[in-house]
């Protein structure tokens, strides 16, 4: 399998089967790491914007034993289904290369976490260590019941999500024991975490994983390896005969005793994962039920992706390479300026612009914002950085993660996470933030409680109003109601989301807010609109001519208080609409731009890629942002 620069022909791997197949399209993001026999590459699935890792292993460069280990990892991963284990999605062989698709843990690993605390010279809180211990022990308890020994537990193989959910990975040298009494004999593993029985060449069982877990917990508590030496021979002696160092007395006696229990030289004296989790020493430092609930909640997205991958239809991967660049101009700058920060994993997948600020969502689902203050405009929190500073360069919004969409109003910003949670920050004038009792300005992202049990699929901001489409297909609007832009039958303002009633039984696919109007696009390509129709920007005005015994009639409709069908567009199947201050534009299912059915003032929109419209913007102010 290969990749191409730019957007060209698809590259497809076909297995030569007559069975129905599902085509999964991927966009290359970046190489996460390289080894002697392959590499791990991050991709974004185009169908749902989720990030996945493809492990590409060149079998031709492996020994027979190494080939067996690589194929064994597939066998083991495919049979496991646990919240704290990297999820397997798919695999195939491609001309001597083994491709394994697995879950992406976007928060690094425990080795990185420890290194960060070493730099700041701060010990990790006991509560957090207990949280990591619970998750790794839960994963080990799960695999041990299947007779699987991981054999390479170490801080670099314990991955994290940005929500601090542990994901145990790298089962390349794991061993499946046929019976509980069977013992493994192969010398494998990383020396620092190697149990005494492996060092001595004795047979061993799942207790070697518990020794390694003890080494990991000791490292979390002390920020240093359990046993250290200048050479492997000395390290082996220390593991078999040596004593570990003391743990800082700030940690409880319970967690110190747990470490001692796992680091018993005699394997029989060590606990199993189940014994550890149910011991009084552990339950006194951790609320097991609460932790179990937290793991379930944090693992929602992974469960969804695994369910999608479990459909019994063969998947054909289509791998593309797409380079995106972000340019900014306007506000006195006539020449587009490239924002160099948005490369590789930070490549932009979506952009938005307010009156004086910009926002970008990257492939790694992070949000960056920056300002372009002109005239009398000011920053009132719309950048989400906890202050009113006007950052001129893109800056990551640290409090946001797993964001798939951003939308900017005049001086406020909304974000939607992959789980449908909604976050808002900036000016709450007109109640635009949907937070009835909130202050006039919000400097950092806050969740909207209204949508906590009703996940949002898409959100769109006008200058002073907002529209949201939920995953259940319901439409809500709030903010300034002037000219009927909320579609609620009046010009009243609303500070909390209000459910919109629409004519007929429409199923909606998109919501689009203009400066003072709103569009709704249905799944079958119909368009409804409400709000100001000045300059006929909603397309409601019509002219009749050529009818017998009838004069030419021109109907000028200034505004609509409720959502009504845009009749001139009913001859098309509309997929996208963009709304500017004085004009609108639409794209039909054949990717044709439609502008002649509306009277446009200062009509501008961007088209690219061989005259086929993929992205369409209507420029609201005197600056622009292009991806």
Lookup: tokens for 36:
């002697």
Calpha distance 422→399 (Å, rounded): 13
Dihedral over alpha carbons 15, 19, 22, 23 (to 10 degrees) = 40
DSSP string, 228-285: --SSHHHHHHHHHH--PPPPPTTS-HHHHHHHHHHT-SSGGGSPPHHHHHHSHHHHTT
C-alpha distances out from residue 149 to 89, 175, 295, 598, Å: 21, 5, 23, 67
Lookup: tokens for 172:
């390349």
Backbone conformation region of residue 18, classed left if phi is above 0, alpha if psi is from -120 to 50, else beta = alpha
C-alpha distances out from residue 283 to 255, 277, 560, Å: 10, 7, 62
C-alpha distances out from residue 133 to 128, 144, 154, 481, Å: 9, 16, 13, 52
DSSP string, 502-558: -SS---EEEEEE-SSEEEEEETTS-EEEEEE-GGGTTS--EEE-S-TT---EEE---
List, edge to edge, every strand of the sheet that includes 367-371. Answer: 348-353, 357-362, 367-371, 395-396
458, 417 in Cβ contact below 8 A?
Answer: no
DSSP state of 437: T
* 3 state SS of 136: helix
Please list the residues that pair with 461 across neighbouring strands: 466
Which of 505, 523, 393, 412 has the alpha carbon at shortest distance from 457?
A: 523
DSSP string, 311-364: SSSEEEEEEE------EEEETTEEEEEE-TT--GGG-EEEEEE-SSEEEEEETT
Question: Does 440 qualify as catalytic in the annotation?
Answer: no
Lookup: tokens for 549:
């015994």
Lookup: tokens for 129:
């260590």
220, 124 in Cβ contact below 8 A?
Answer: yes
Helices 126-144 and 288-298 meet at what angle, rounded to 10? 80
101, 149 in Cβ contact below 8 A?
Answer: no
* 3 state SS of 1: coil
369, 358 in Cβ contact below 8 A?
Answer: yes
DSSP string, 22-36: EEEEEEEEEEEEE-S
Which of 97, 100, 101, 31 has the alpha carbon at shortest distance from 61?
A: 97
8, 2 in Cβ contact below 8 A?
Answer: no
315, 305 in Cβ contact below 8 A?
Answer: no
Buried b / exposed e over 484-506, threshold 16 CB at 10 Å, is bbbbbeeeebbbebbebebeeeb
443, 387 in Cβ contact below 8 A?
Answer: yes
**Of these residues, 152, 170, 411, 516, which one is catalytic?**
152
Active-site positions read: 152
């Amino acid at each position: 399998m290969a990749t191409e620069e730019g957007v060209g022909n698809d590259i497809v791997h076909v297995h030569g089967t007559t069975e129905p197949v599902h085509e999964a399209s991927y966009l290359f993001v970046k190489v996460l790491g390289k080894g002697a026999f392959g590499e791990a590459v991050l991709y974004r699935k185009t169908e749902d914007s989720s990030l996945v890792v493809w492990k590409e292993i060149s079998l031709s460069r492996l020994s027979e034993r190494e080939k067996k280990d690589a194929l064994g990892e597939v066998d083991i991963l495919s049979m496991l289904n646990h919240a704290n284990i990297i999820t397997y999605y798919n695999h195939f062989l491609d001309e001597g290369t083994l491709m394994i698709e697995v879950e992406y843990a976007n928060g690094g690993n425990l080795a990185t976490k420890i290194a960060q605390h070493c730099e700041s010279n701060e010990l990790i809180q006991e509560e957090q260590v207990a949280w990591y211990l619970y998750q790794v022990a839960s994963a080990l308890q799960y695999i041990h019941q299947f007779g699987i020994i991981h054999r390479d537990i170490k801080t670099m193989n314990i991955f994290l999500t940005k929500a601090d959910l542990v994901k145990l990975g790298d089962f390349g040298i794991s061993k499946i024991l046929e019976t509980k009494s069977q013992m493994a004999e192969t010398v494998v593993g990383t020396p620092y975490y190697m149990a005494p029985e492996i060092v001595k060449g004795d047979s061993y069982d799942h207790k070697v994983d518990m020794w390694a877990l003890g080494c990991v917990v000791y490292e979390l508590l002390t920020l240093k390896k359990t046993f250290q030496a200048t050479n492997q021979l000395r390290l082996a002696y220390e593991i078999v005969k040596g004593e570990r160092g003391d743990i800082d007395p700030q940690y409880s006696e319970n967690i110190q005793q747990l470490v001692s229990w796992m680091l018993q030289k005699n394997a029989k004296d060590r606990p199993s994962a189940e014994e550890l989790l149910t011991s009084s020493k552990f339950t006194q430092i951790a609320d097991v039920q609460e932790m179990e609930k937290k793991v379930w909640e944090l693992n929602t997205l992974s469960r969804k992706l695994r369910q999608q991958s479990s459909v019994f239809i063969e998947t054909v991967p289509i791998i593309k390479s797409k380079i995106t660049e972000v340019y900014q101009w306007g506000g006195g700058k006539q020449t587009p300026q490239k924002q160099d920060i948005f490369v590789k994993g930070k490549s932009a997948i979506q952009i938005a612009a307010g009156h004086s600020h910009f926002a970008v969502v990257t492939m790694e689902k992070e949000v960056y914002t920056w300002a372009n203050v002109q005239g009398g405009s000011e920053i009132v929190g719309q950048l989400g950085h906890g202050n009113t500073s006007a950052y001129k360069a893109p800056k990551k919004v640290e409090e946001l993660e797993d964001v798939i969409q951003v939308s900017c109003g005049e001086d406020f910003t909304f974000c939607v996470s992959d789980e449908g949670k909604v976050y808002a920050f900036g000016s709450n004038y007109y109640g635009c933030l949907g937070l009835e009792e909130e202050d006039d300005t919000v400097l950092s992202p806050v969740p909207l409680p209204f949508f906590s049990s009703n996940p949002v699929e898409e959100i769109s901001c006008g200058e002073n109003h907002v529209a949201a489409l939920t995953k259940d297909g319901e439409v809500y609007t709030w903010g300034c109601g002037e000219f009927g832009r909320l579609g609620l039958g009046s010009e009243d303002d609303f500070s909390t989301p209000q459910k919109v009633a629409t004519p007929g039984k429409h199923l909606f696919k998109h919501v689009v807010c203009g400066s003072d109007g709103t569009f709704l696009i249905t799944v079958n390509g119909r368009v409804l609109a409400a709000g100001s129709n000045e300059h006929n920007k909603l397309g409601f005005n019509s002219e009749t001519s050529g009818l017998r015994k009838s004069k030419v009639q021109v109907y000028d409709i200034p505004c609509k208080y409720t959502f009504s069908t845009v009749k001139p567009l009913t001859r098309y199947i509309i997929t996208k609409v963009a709304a500017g201050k004085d004009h609108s534009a639409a794209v039909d299912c054949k990717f044709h731009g439609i502008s002649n059915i509306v009277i446009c003032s200062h009509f501008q929109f961007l088209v690219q890629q061989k005259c086929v419209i993929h992205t369409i913007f209507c420029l609201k102010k005197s600056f622009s942002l292009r991806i």
